[in-house]
Structure 1
Amino acid sequence: MSESTGLYILLVSVHGLIRGENLELGRDADTGGQTKYVVELARALAKNPQVARVDLVTRLVSDPKVNSDYAQPIEPLSDKAQIIRLPCGPRRYLRKEVLWPHLDSFADELIRHVRQVGQVPDVIHSHYADAGYVGCRVAGWLGIPLVHTGHSLGRVKRDRLLEQGTKPETIEDHFHISTRIEAEEKTLASASLIIASTRQEVTDQYGIYDQYQPDRMVVIPPGVTLEQFYPAGADWQFPPIYKDLQRFLHEPEKPIIMALSRPAVRKNVSALVKAYGEDPELQKLANLVLVLGNRDNIGTMESGPRRVMNEILQLIDRYDLYGKVAYPKHHQSDEVPELYRLVAKNRGVFINPALTEPFGLTLIEATACGAPIVATADGGPRDILAACHNGQLIDPLDISDIQAALRKALTDDAQWQEWSQNGLDNVRHHFSWSSHVDRYLEQVHQLPKRRVQSSLSYLPMAPVARLQEEWNLPAANRLMTADRYLVCEIDDTLLGDRDALHQLIERLNQQGQSTGIGIATGRSLQSVLSMLEEWHFPMPDALITSNGSEIYYGPQVVLDPNWERHIHHRWQAGAIRAAMQELPGIELQPPESQGKFKISYFIDEEKAPSFDEIMRQLRRKRLHVNASYSHNMYLDLLPIRASKGNAIRYCAWKWNLPIDRFLVAGASGNDESMLTGNTMAVVVGNYSPEVEKLHGYPQVYFAEGEYSWGILEALDHYDFFGSLKPAMQLEPVAV
């Protein structure tokens, strides 16, 4: 990969089968135009001198049923672009609708990849709803802009299926459509920029979403790879796939009407066959060629494509179109340009009769090869024909309209020639990848000026700009690049002496450029944010709150849902409260002190059982909790896996951070889990009696200074900004 300076762009496209060469377009519903789009976008971006690195991140698939190419962790696309494949759920190939439970883990893997790169991306660009779900989280954690391209939208799909008579419960069961729509809503709210292919997509499709914000949307049509799609030259020869077509056709030399798509109901290929079958003149004028993905056995295809193929075969039989219609079982992606050139060479026409068409990449590919087009009067085709003037729009539900347009293209030689030449002249100007990238990068360079608060953010309801100014929000999360980490409790540790805190902030500003900052506290998130604002402490990179039961990252404070999922194990909040009600001298703290995974009590030591007796009571009832007791009066009950120490170690794993490069600071009993182990630890001078027992631990330094004075003392003790080699306070105790 190139090491030159420039933009680092991270593209995320989770589902389907993605590789650099010979894309299996049409293999299934997940391996369609989006997979080609993202590969070509990655290559085109990498060609631009403003771009230093492009990573196209997708799912790693190790499955004997698919090619081993998809199990390779890294596949170079060019000197500056590569495909990165990361684990996401089972290793076998899965359709996109069942990937949702695995996307949080994919987000974790993406963080670890970026950490290994050692450079924060300038932008994350997510493709489709599943990647939007991942992109919202990772961009929020890192504090960088999110760009999104929907490709297709859940609300539109649901409406279309309902119109076709599909039952709502069937749509939900198969497509998990409500999960998809919720992910799209959050992505639209979080993204700094939405890239659409057509103006209709912006108004008619995104426009039905609650989070529709057209000021954040821009229309940049996809490009066509002109190095592959170009007209046939004088020395052009019939491609090998022509022999496959000849097997079907009595008169293969006749002009071709060609459709190329997946065998999906929306593509409306059956209507095309019906139009051809009911028009004897069309049958005399041209053959019909249907390139409908790759298949081995119609009987083993998914139900939707199987129904479409069976209907097409029945129509061919009904109209006795044998010898006039070709429908090859296989084709390679590098044969597609040759098919377009074949259409143009024998003065045929390319048709897209889809019921709806968000863009129609095949139309500009055919145009670049010199073929006139007939296409549905919807979405992308409208924009393409308006720009290229190279064909005719049709009503896909009107058989006679389809027939008339095809006859005009095949019988009017002057019109055919004009459409062909117009397309060749205009496609390079309006739909090249180089022009797409130029407009794309213009938008990317403007993103820092339109900072958008993530929909997943837990910041208080205040303008981000004000928080940026008052709290000194970092431009990006330093956990991606930091090589050492300072994590502090707030109460009686970080906060308490304003002069000491000011000196600590100054020292971090002067020497802590490679230092990540974290807070680990028993307070709730809102309480923490209020305290930080009151004391003017810079926004940390990580916030561990509610005694380790919640973790938030980045300048916009975005929750880590995987940590919640991890600690949920054996958590029975209702049963715990019921068991604690049986004990005297114990009182629930106010609601603001409670959390989803934290139950907090006041303890009256004169009336309540001892801490050990409380824990025995819970164990007898088979209630599994982790407890922390501090200041002889505060008791927090957490899930068995939750604690400040475990949360710090989880962060170290997630962000690929060595745990022995963490300096942790605390002062009370609920800090014990993070002060012990392989961290560098400091107990500040104003500590509570319950941490006396840590005297003698070789990695625990007891400072003389109180509050942040003690933290400053520990920075020198451990040579924190230097070699990180602590001078041990005590010799290890012989056993």
Structure 2
Amino acid sequence: MFVCHIALQGCLTLTDVPYGITADTGGHIKYLLELAETSALDPEIDRIDIVTRGFEDSAFSDEFAPGSGEIRGDIRLVRLADGYEGYLTKEELHEQHEALCKAFLDYLKSCPKLPDIIHAHYADAGVLARAAFEELGIPYVFTAHSLGAVKRQANGTTSAELERRIEIEERVLEKASGIISSSRDEAEAQYAHYSKIESGRIRVIPPGCDLERFKNAPVSDKVRSDVARFLCDLEKPIILAIARPVRKKNLVALVEAYAAHSELRERANLVIVAGCRSQLSELEQECREVIEELIAAVETHDLYGHVAYPKSHEPSDIPAYYALARESGGVFVNPALNEPFGLTLLEAAASHLPVVATDSGGPNDIIERCKNGVLVRPTDRSAIADACFSIMTDRRSWIRYASAGGDAASAYDWQAHCRIYHRLLNDLVSPLQKVPSWGRLLVCDIDNTLLGDREALREFLRWQTENSENIALGIATGRSFHSAQAILAAEGVPNPDVIISGVGTAIHWYDRERRYFVEDEAWKAGLARDWDHERVHDVATRLNLRSQALLEQKVGKASFFTGELSTDEIRAAFDKEGLAVEIIASHGRYLDILPRGGGKQAAVVHAAARLGLTQSRVVVAGDSGNDRSMLVACPHPVIVGNWSDGLGEDPALSHAFVASKTHAAGVLEGVRHYQAAGSW
């Protein structure tokens, strides 16, 4: 497969990238290069071209000139000439769209073979990818890295420039065959601002990270010296932030938060590594303004001797900064207004340094997966300071978060990323598959049912492959659609034929012609018709139910944590208010409130009807309380051996087959039981 990447922003080279030399030479380039390097190891990938914009500018070396491409193994860098010699910031690239499209199409036509697929990074690159799709029919996938609509929401204001960027993003999204997001927040919350994208075209594939150099990194004399120049007492714990000096990174708010917390000022130092600069006048305007505001805040609050902001650093210094903060018993802080992914959080995790991170964006996934710190609202300065103080003054918490971070390297691996990424690319370019005529439907829960035992899963997948022409595979889960898709892909499960997500509040069908999942609009409309969000949450508030995260709240589903009240007491409170709802409790912790008649069972009935199947042709499998409704209603239920929430002893489930085996092996045991009995 020939993959062509487009990345127009910043100063891109295949080796020794000058990170921080401009505001646009940042994390997206590191992401792209590490993706390409790992991707090239796959024997199925025979060529990778990276296309960028060439320029000749006296402020930079001549290595960025058009046509001066580099080659590294199977990876080739191509620099386009667009007729303008100078460097362009991301805000200026739109001026050259037409010329860049022409140059890109000329490059494609000069290739001995057209790329099988194009991968565009940022919206300006997407403009070129869409032009190639429209003229040459080459499909493209898109990675936004950051989105204009999210910036507009975070700032609370807009501008003509920002609206133009959002319009460009909409045009790129409209024709993209697939959109790769780094986190569930990006997929479900950030892309919700855009009208030209269906949920099924978005795939959550967390980027891999090369974190080896952060493990057990020593503190260098250089870094210690650079910080010591600013601080009166180097023995205090360090609150560390590493970010480009742009407004969305919220660095000035961190200084203000530190200044306003007297105990924190007394007990800790603040170290901010904000890019490189020789003279302020040489920085781009936004970077210069942020640095000036940062210095002004230090002066206003008389923080000299307590705050360090080194002028420059080498890439090799960064692990030493994390090590210095770890050695001091400090924390790492990412206070960004929105963070699409959060690479620095993983670097801190691999360095065994606890983190305090924004609750907007990718950090939600990282903290949930690595459990190496806490989330805070980035606009709540007191919460930022309180979180830092709490971790640094509670030694048990500090040790717990520091120890948990060591799992980050295995959780975010480039090879795992590329296995999922290449499977997606193959889905998009392979010949169209014939839609089978299924006679039966198997619906499984994910967590602790289909997943949980990898060896058993492999056996199940062998069976499923052999029977895929006769038996449709469905998923029914409490996870969101994108979370379900991501965890299934991570475990090597091929695209199911239907995914019922959010405890039955969404149904997505895999469309083999369009090569992505399509939401069942009839089901969606029915849920919306019977749902009164405000009244449901009003009753829940009066019952003192604690809400789960905003991402868990959907049309047709309000999600909370179980409290002291029983489900019968909660149901009675809703009945008293005249609200007909289903109360679903699971795993002794989670509580979902759905419209009466909703849930997994109703969704399974709807899915079977769409396939023209009666319930006698359906087998369902589950393990916990949120599977109960579909298990009770189905004539062929399977309860896996590792059941919870009393399922295996429930009189209402006396007709169920209770497997002796656990997880996927239990599912197969149940399926074979019904097949042997001749009832399915």
Band the TM-score falls in, shorter-chain normalisation:
0.5 to 0.7
Q: Would the alpha carbon gap of residues 397 and 302 (structure 1) be closer, same or farther in structure 2, given more than 3 Å must change? A: same
Counterpart secondary structure, 1:185? helix
Q: How does 1:555-704 map to 2 (within 5 A)?
A: none
Which residue is equivalent to 1:443? 424
Q: 1:44 to 1:342 in 2, by over 3 A?
A: farther
TM-score normalised by structure 2 residue count: 0.60
Q: Distance in 2 between matches of 1:286 and 1:341?
A: 16
Structure 2 contact 154–337 (Cα < 8 Å) conserved: no
Query: Which residue does the alignment assign to 1:432?
Result: 413
Q: Which residue of 1 aligns with 2:288?
A: 306
- Residue type of the alignment partner of 1:219: V
1:126-177 CA distance string (max 9 Å, x none): 011100000011133332220001112223334444x24xxx5xx21xx2x4
**2:198 corresponds to which residue?**
213
Aligned residue type for 1:58: T
Tell me the distance in 1 between the aligned counterparts of 2:66 and 2:106. 17
Is 1:191 the counterpart of 2:185? The answer is no
Q: Quick check: 149-158 or 210-219, which moved more?
A: 149-158
Deviation per CA, 1:674-698, whole angstroms, max 9, x where unpaired? xxxxxxxxxxxxxxxxxxxxxxxxx
**Structure 1 outlier segments of 4+, above 4 Å:** 74-77
Mapped pair 1:264 → 2:243 = no
SS at match of 2:293: helix
Report SS of the residue matched to 1:393: strand
CA distance in 2, matches of 1:393, 1:181: 28
Asked whether 1:290 is paired with 2:275, we answer: no
- Give, in whole Å, the separation in 2 of the partners of 1:63 and 1:47: 35
CA distance in 1, matches of 2:427, 2:150: 30
- CA distance in structure 2 between the partners assigned to 1:387 and 1:407 by the alignment: 23
| Structure having the higher Rg | 1
- Offset of residue 417 of structure 1: 1.9
Q: CA deviation at 1:239?
A: 4.8
**Equivalent AA in structure 2 for residue 87 of structure 1:** A
- CA spacing shift, 1:356–1:43, aligned 2, 3 Å: same
| 1:281 equivalent in alignment to 2:263 | yes
Deviations 1:307-330 (A, max 9, x none): 322221122112221112110111
2:2 corresponds to = 8
Q: For each residue in 1:692-731, what CA deviation from the matched residue of structure 2 results, as whole angstroms up to 9, or x when unmatched?
A: xxxxxxxxxxxxxxxxxxxxxxxxxxxxxxxxxxxxxxxx
Matched, 1:416 2:410: no
Q: Which residue of 2 aligns with 1:342?
A: 324
Q: Deviations over 1:278-336 (max 9, x none)?
A: 23332343221111111222244333323322221122112221112110111122322
In the alignment, structure 1 residue 154 sits paired with structure 2 residue 148? yes
The residue identity in structure 2 corresponding to 1:212 is I
Superimposed CA distance per residue, residues 325-359 of structure 1 (whole angstroms, 9 cap, x where no aligned partner): 11011112232223223322333211001122222
Displacement of 1:251: 2.2
* Counterparts of 1:16 and 1:319, CA distance in 2: 35
**2:431, 2:349 → 1: CA distance?**
37
Determine the structure 2 residue equivalent to 1:122: 116
Q: 1:75 to 1:251 in 2, by over 3 A?
A: farther
The aligned length equals 435
Which whole-Å deviations, capped at 9, do the CAs of 1:617-668 have from their partners, x for residues lacking one?
Answer: xxxxxxxxxxxxxxxxxxxxxxxxxxxxxxxxxxxxxxxxxxxxxxxxxxxx
SS of the residue 2:108 aligns to: helix
Q: Distance in 2 between matches of 1:370 and 1:55?
A: 36
Q: CA deviation at 1:393?
A: 0.8
Contact in 1 for aligned 2:39/2:418 (Cα 8 Å): yes
Q: Does the 8 A contact of 1:22 with 1:332 survive in 2?
A: no
Task: Kindly report which structure 2 residues correspond to 1:535-546, keeping only aligned pairs within 5 A, or say none.
Answer: none
State whether residues 192 and 450 of structure 1, in contact with CA within 8 Å, keep that contact through their aligned partners in structure 2.
no
Cα distance in structure 2, aligned partners of 1:389 and 1:238: 28
Equivalences for 1:75-90 in 2 at 5 Å? 76=70, 78-90=72-84
1:362 is matched with which residue? 344
Moved more, 76-85 or 216-225: 76-85
Task: List alignment gaps of at least 5 residues for structure 1.
Answer: 1-6, 452-464, 466-735
Does the C-alpha gap of structure 1 residues 76 and 415 become closer, same or farther in structure 2, counting only changes over 3 Å? Answer: farther
Q: Structure 1 residues 253, 72: closer, same or farther in 2, change over 3 A?
A: farther
The reply on whether 1:67 has 2:61 as its aligned counterpart is: yes
Paired letter, 1:379? G
Query: How far apart in 2 are the matches of 1:376 and 1:180?
Result: 24
Do the aligned residues in 1 keep the contact of 2:338 with 2:360 (CA within 8 Å)? yes
Could you tell me how far apart the structure 2 residues matched to 1:286 and 1:450 are? 60
2:354 maps to a residue whose letter is P
Give, as a single letter, the amino acid of the residue that structure 1 aligns with 2:148.
G
Task: Output the amino acid matched with 2:30.
Answer: K
Q: 1:19 aligns with which of 13, 18, 24?
A: 13
**1:318 paired to 2:300:** yes
Report the alpha carbon displacement of residue 389 of structure 1 after superposing the two structures with TM: 0.2
Change over 3 Å in CA distance of 1:55–1:408 after alignment to 2? same
Match of 1:228 in 2: 213
**Code of the aligned partner of 2:356:** V
The answer on whether the counterparts of 2:252 and 2:293 sit within 8 Å (CA) in structure 1 is: yes
Is this contact kept in 2: 1:429–1:435, CA < 8 A? no
Q: What does the per-residue CA deviation read over 1:507-554, in whole Å, with 9 as the maximum and x for residues that have no partner?
A: xxxxxxxxxxxxxxxxxxxxxxxxxxxxxxxxxxxxxxxxxxxxxxxx
* Number of the residue aligned with 2:648: none
Please state how far the C-alpha of 1:241 moved relative to its aligned partner: 3.0
Question: Does the CA-based 8 Å contact 2:66-2:81 persist in structure 1?
Answer: no
Matched residue type, 1:390? N
1:414-563 mapped onto 2 (5 Å cutoff): 414-425=396-407, 427-448=408-429
**Whole-angstrom distance in 1 between the partners of 2:84 and 2:363:** 39
Q: CA 1:77 to 1:320, structure 2 compared with 1: closer, same or farther past 3 Å?
A: farther
**Counterparts of 1:239 and 1:438, CA distance in 2:** 40
Tell me if structure 1 keeps the 8 A contact 2:142–2:179: yes
Measure the CA separation in 2 of the matches of 1:180 and 1:450: 35
For residues 352 and 77 of structure 1, the distance between their equivalents in structure 2, rounded to whole angstroms, comes to: 35
Identical residues among aligned pairs (%)? 39
The DSSP-based 3-state class of the residue aligned with 2:230 is coil
TM-superposed deviation, 1:56: 1.4
Matches of 1:239 and 1:124, distance apart in 2: 45
Supply the distance in 2 between the matched residues of 1:109 and 1:228 (Cα, whole angstroms): 39
Partner in structure 2 of residue 33 of structure 1 = 27
Report the Cα offset of residue 398 of structure 1.
2.0
State the alpha-carbon separation in 1 of the partners of residues 70 and 350 from structure 2: 27
User: In structure 2, what residue type is equivalent to 1:430?
Assistant: A
2:402 counterpart letter in structure 1: S
State the partner residue of 1:145.
139
The residue that corresponds to 2:490 in the other structure is none
Match of 1:721 in 2: none
Question: Residue by residue, what CA displacement relative to the aligned partner does 1:264-289 show, whole Å, maximum 9, x if unpaired?
Answer: 22211112111222233323432211
CA distance in 1, matches of 2:270, 2:13: 31
Separation in 2, partners of 1:106, 1:132 = 11
1:77 & 1:339 partners in 2: Cα distance? 33
- Equivalent-residue separation in structure 2 for 1:428 and 1:63 (angstroms): 39
2: CA distance, partners of 1:110 / 1:250: 55
Conserved? CA contact 2:53–2:66, under 8 Å: no
**Structure 1 position 54, deviation (Å):** 1.6
**Equivalents in 2 of 1:294, 1:300: separation in Å?**
11
Q: Aligned partners of 1:90 and 1:404: how far apart in 2?
A: 50
C-alpha RMSD of matched pairs (Å): 2.5
The separation in 1 between residues aligned to 2:234 and 2:61, in whole angstroms, is 34
Separation (CA, whole Å) in 1 of partners of 2:69 and 2:223:
28
